[in-house]
Amino acid sequence: MPTMTFAEALIDGLCEALQHDEAVTMIGSALLGIGPARRLVDRITQEFPDRLVDGPIAEAAIAGLAAGAAMAGSRPFVDLGTASFSLLAWSQITNEAAVAHLMSGGQIKAPVVYHMLHGVRGGGAAQHSSSPQSMLWNCPGLQIVLPASPRDVKGLVRRALKSDNPTVILNHAKLMAMQGEVPAGDYEIEFGRADVKRTGRDVTVVATSYMVQEALKAADVLAGDGIDAEVVDLRTLVPFDQAAVLESVAKTGRLLVVDECPLRCGVASEVVASVAEHGMSYLKQPPRRLARADAPVACSPGLEAAITPDAAKIAQLAHAMMQARA
């Protein structure tokens, strides 16, 4: 099985989709950010020069163009750049693409994929550090995907470009250089299936995107202290694999949910609420949330770190949970 970076796996999945389906097109070439990985997009422009176009810096325009193209029979993959900028295209994403199938009585499909980079990445400040996954989760009609590894990003992208439903993929800039084994060939991951990245018996840590990697680091630290943490990667918010979360909590009796969107009304809040509603009897103590503080993200690395979850904070909170009386 070949080893690839997250960025390479993303490009590999896109190239395979372009090769296997002539309806797949791309709008925007900055999907890997502004770092060295951006050169990998050259593979697409060289192999499929007529299938990728760069749109204007007008998010509403390109999001609307992509939605219309999808309704007309294409399968566009459109990059909106930083997730913060998706707010400029909110109507096109949530009030057009997301509802077209229902409002047409099932006559129209909108198989568009919106891609964006989310999360605190280092000096991005308030306008380049957004994680709007919880806001998107509140907009019915969208599939929401948060890959956490090279293997996952390829498989989930391939699945998204075969789906007839509109999909939002949120990738984290800090994952782009991550390396891992990736299956060769036409490989996809079914939506709505969480992945247990590490098994454990003492505490369940549910995480998304880059926070999965931070949770795995924390689990290594906790293991040195005799605490066996299970790390569950949701992979998709819509569909949401509630059964996988409940199965893990039934085993460990403790739940800690980690996500990078703000704490209030965030992903962590919804996951905790679902367990409280459907699995309260499994819990030995109240579930805990760890998310970004409810504050704008500053440009200062020190202030960024102060409000963002990381491995040390995850380990500290898990320790406190284990020390609390059941």
Given the residues 101, 115, 128, 172, select the one marked as catalytic: 128
268-277, long-range: CB within 8 Å, 24+ apart, which pairs? 269/134, 270/134, 270/137, 271/206, 271/234, 271/245, 274/240, 274/242, 274/245, 275/245, 275/246, 275/249
| 128 carries an active-site annotation | yes
Between CA 7 and CA 26 the distance in angstroms is 16
Residue 113 corresponds to which tokens in the numbers above? Answer: 């994929």
SS3 225: coil
What are the residue ranges of helices labelled H in the chain?
A: 6-20, 42-47, 59-71, 90-92, 100-103, 133-137, 150-160, 210-224, 242-252, 267-278, 301-307, 311-323
The distance of Cα 170 from the centroid of its chain, to the nearest Å, equals 4
| Residues assigned a catalytic role | 128
